[in-house]
Amino acid sequence: MSQDGITPTTWRSQAGYVWSLIGSAVGFANLLSFSAHAYKNGGGAFLIPYFFALFVLGIPLLVLEGSIGYRWKLPLIEAYNRIWKRPGKFVGWLAVLACFTIGGFYIVLTGYSVAYAYFSAVGAIPSDAKSFFLHDFLHVSSGLQHMEGITWTIAAATAVVALISWFVLVRNVRDGIERACSLFMPLLTALILFFAVIACLLPGGLNGFVYYLTPDFSRLLDPQLWRDIFGQLFFSLSLGLGIIVGYSRHTERSINIGKAMLYTALGDFAVSFVAGLAVFAFLAHISYVENIPFVDIMTTESSFDIGFVLFPQLLKTLGPIGERLVGTLFFLSLFIAGITGVFSIVESVAGNIEHVYKVKRSTSVTLTLLALLLCSFVFCTGNSPYLIEALVPMVVGTNMLLGGLALIFAFVFASQELRNESVWMKKGRLTFTAVALRYIAPSLLAIILLGNLWQEFQGFDLPKAVRWGWFFFALLSAALLARFKGRQGVEQQGRALVTQQAELVS
């Protein structure tokens, strides 16, 4: 039983917990963005420092978030409230608002994969995949300031994602998320391996391995490489948002948090790495067939263009049957990666609502998904690509870095109970994870945060106005929500008042 008298449901097994964590971590960032960053930053020159960052920053922060959920059996807001009272609630609400905003466009992007899986199955994607995506599918406007109308095809696909998510999440975690992720994640792994094998068998495909694995060490001196690495790492592992805290509150004492987070980090990296092999092999095939230099094939870093323009064009080289089969499976894999991320986002938001306002799980899940659907309409309009690109540097950049620093502050200064967890000690000495959290991680995060802020303040335009407007609105909203004590706080105040009156009477 938890400390507030509510008996939480728990994961059926550590394997189910790990699969669910990997499902939370794996998403579009693994299948699309990782390859784009690796391509831009010289293949192996991106892989080597990424693996370094995973161990000195990614895994320590995963273990820290997991330990908070494991120790208090509470979602982020209530757990932070136990650690450092109202300031903790403020930081927790800020993370929940960021998570909700990300969910608003992430559920739409997952809807893209639903629509494109259908388009691929029926052979509806024409040769000019870029025009089809931008004009026939997105109905993209001329700029951020021009919203245009809602694209109802996208809205309908988004509603399908929300309905599937509700069906899974309205159940307890072992019958919902655990069962779904234990099915979806092995299937996704098999699909990615299938793509890698297919890509290797294509003419020139094996050349992609050379481009992918050969490092250009001169790139290591480029500050942009390191910003890309840590941005990719934070977004891929969902650090600083409380998602891992939310999943870990359902653990039993038999769960080994350190091992679970290590398996999660390595599983997330393995998916990214194999997906990168497949992408590079496909690109090498295009380079071979069309006699284009490999470095000139991908001209965009946008996940939109890579997934929904470049890949449909690439699939045309496989013939009509191959295009339909491989295309459908590819967008099915994107759907799996996307919806397991949606599960974790909704679980994080709904779990906090459930505890703060003391409502049933089914009610909190339903309300969260309805609110996300309403929010998603903003990202179903013609200016949605511009809007998402404007928000991303803040909600999955600066804001997540602040969340990571807040987590480290909680560990180093705010909670002796958290520091006393056995995961931080081995044979009477601090583990490498604890040392990294105390000294390495805060220094790295502070440097990256200062670099991001320096870049942000170089000029001012409409996208920057949008993301900073969101940030200040989120700060104000988090401050107001932190002051509101919720039903439990009101009841506690009432009981305290009654006790005081009784003492005065006596």
- Look at residue 4 and tell me whether its pLDDT is greater than 70: no
pTM of the model: 0.91
- Look at residue 252 and tell me whether its pLDDT is greater than 50: yes
Across the range 280-286, mean pLDDT stands at 89
pLDDT score recorded for residue 316: 84
Instruction: Dump the DSSP string for 455-493.
Output: HHTSS--HHHHHHHHHHHHHHHHHHHHHH--HHHHHHHH
pLDDT score recorded for residue 380: 96
Taking only the tens place, the pLDDT of each residue in 133-159 is: 999 999 999 999 998 889 999 999 999
Taking only the tens place, the pLDDT of each residue in 323-368 is: 999 999 999 999 999 999 999 999 999 999 999 999 999 999 999 9
- Look at residue 259 and tell me whether its pLDDT is greater than 60: yes
Which of the pair, 101 or 293, is modelled with greater confidence?
101
pLDDT score recorded for residue 376: 96
Task: Decide yes or no: CATH 1.20.1740.10 for domain 14-505.
Answer: yes
- Look at residue 102 and tell me whether its pLDDT is greater than 80: yes
Say how far apart CA 505 and CA 365 lie, in whole Å: 45
Q: Tell me the HSE value of 68 on the side-chain side, using a 13 A CA sphere.
A: 33
Percent helix, strand, coil in the chain, to 5, is 80, 0, 20
pLDDT score recorded for residue 69: 92
CB-CB contact of 21 with 347 (8 Å): no
Percent of the chain residues past pLDDT 70, beyond the cut: 94
Say how far apart CA 246 and CA 244 lie, in whole Å: 5
If DSSP states are collapsed to H, E and C, what string results for 79-145?
Answer: HHHHHHHHHHHHHHHHHHHHHHHHHHHHHHHHHHHHHHHHHHHHCCCCCCHHHHHHHHHCCCCCCCC
Tokens of 117: 């899986």
pLDDT score recorded for residue 501: 41
pLDDT score recorded for residue 295: 82
Taking only the tens place, the pLDDT of each residue in 185-231 is: 999 999 999 988 988 888 999 999 888 988 888 888 888 888 888 88
Average pLDDT, the chain: 88
